[in-house]
Copies of this chain bind each other. A is one copy, B any other.
């Protein structure tokens, strides 16, 4: 099958290239008879317009980039990304956009390509995952006037950029309150102060404590880094301080924490209540299953919708979307008895 062009189809249908273009793009003001003739030729020969040429003419590629500055070493272990990517793909499909991946594993990788992505106009917009190093990218991104949406709360410039974030603070508040309602008073937390999302969760935890008339106890806070191992270690450090409950800001770390408790012969939820965050698939399969905070709407899909809105409307006014959370009560908090699989 020779490569077909508008001209070629036009020749076959006895009309001009412009007319074929109109038919393909469903423009009005075409005689039905001509339209049909052209459509027949197209159907017969299987014409598909060349996406690149179209992009050049329209100055728009219908490609959006997913830019992840700092891919964790063992990405396999990053359930956030694994969930995000298909979600974004799906949202793009629904809107006839194509997602392109820009995952960077090293700063070298990244520096080399960031400028190109920014200026080569091969993407119509960018979804950027938040990162400690926001500050480096944001100014350039803002400057370049390339539409983009940040996934997560920016550490800076929040009033000048669009972002989609979960209600981390609210979710953590809910989680902590749940433990308080169950009668716990020495509530520990395993968090990760290097991460803004985790930080917001700590904030919600503190707020709930304060409102309950309790004071925050520094020795009941342990740091992790979102890995299971770090959750394990953090829990081990907390055990000597005898908390009666623990709020772990991510399911991954909860898995490690459970293991530490198990090793120490501490039964969850009998001896220690645990509430987690994220509701990853693993949360339902641990023993006991995790009571955890879920965000029902996919942030990835929201980000895509927001980005496309910016692109299509041309209105760059920053949009701030905070996705709500809900508490999924399972066994680990002790509010229910059974340890279902």
**Chain A residues within 8 Å of B, Cβ to Cβ:** 1, 46, 48-53, 55-56, 61, 63, 71, 74-77, 79, 81-83, 85-86, 89-90, 92-93, 98-105, 109, 113, 115-116, 118-122, 143, 228, 232, 255, 259, 280-281, 285, 341
In the complex, are the beta carbons of A52 and B48 less than 8 A apart? Answer: no
A52-B121, A82-B82, A99-B100 provided; 18 other pairs, C-beta below 8 A? Answer: A1-B143, A51-B120, A51-B122, A52-B61, A52-B122, A53-B56, A63-B100, A75-B86, A76-B79, A76-B82, A77-B281, A85-B101, A85-B103, A86-B103, A98-B122, A99-B101, A101-B101, A259-B341
Given A51-B122, A52-B56, CB of A100 within 8 Å of CB of B103: no
From B50, B76, B102, B115, contact of A281 by CB (8 A) = B76
| A82, A115, A280, most chain B CB atoms within 10 A | A82
Smallest CB separation, A287 vs chain B (Å): 8
Q: Are A280 and B52 in contact (CB under 8 A)?
A: no
B52 close to A115 (CB less than 8 A): no
Bound Cα distance from A61 to B121, whole angstroms: 13
A55 contact set on B, CB distance < 8 A: 52
14 contacts between A and B (CB under 8 A): A48-B118, A51-B121, A51-B122, A52-B52, A52-B61, A76-B82, A81-B82, A85-B85, A86-B105, A93-B105, A98-B102, A101-B101, A232-B341, A255-B285
- The answer on a CB contact under 8 Å between A89 and B103 is yes
Contacts of A86 in B (CB 8 A): 71, 75, 81, 103, 105
Report Cα–Cα, A81/B118, bound state, in Å: 28
Closest B residue to A109 by beta carbon equals B93
Report how far A109 CA is from B77 CA in the complex, Å: 29
Chain B residue, CB-CB nearest to A120: B51
Chain B residues near A56: list those with CB within 8 A: 52-53, 56
B residues in contact with A100, CB < 8 Å: 63, 98-101
Among A74, A98, A115, A259: residue with most chain B CB under 10 A: A98
Give the residue name and chain of the B residue nearest to A3 (CB).
B121
CB–CB B105/A90 < 8 A: yes
**Assembled-state Cα–Cα distance A10/B259 (Å):** 65
User: A101 touching B98 by the CB < 8 A rule?
Assistant: yes
Sort A-B residue pairs by CB-CB distance and give the 4 closest, nearest first: A48-B119, A82-B82, A51-B120, A51-B122
Considering the chains assembled together, what is the distance between the CA atoms of A260 and B124 in angstroms?
50
Kindly list chain B residues whose C-beta atoms are within 8 Å of the C-beta of A50: 120-121
Q: Which chain B residues border A52 with CB–CB below 8 Å?
A: 52, 55-56, 61, 121-122
Q: Please, which residues of chain B bring their CB within 8 A of the CB of A89?
A: 101-103
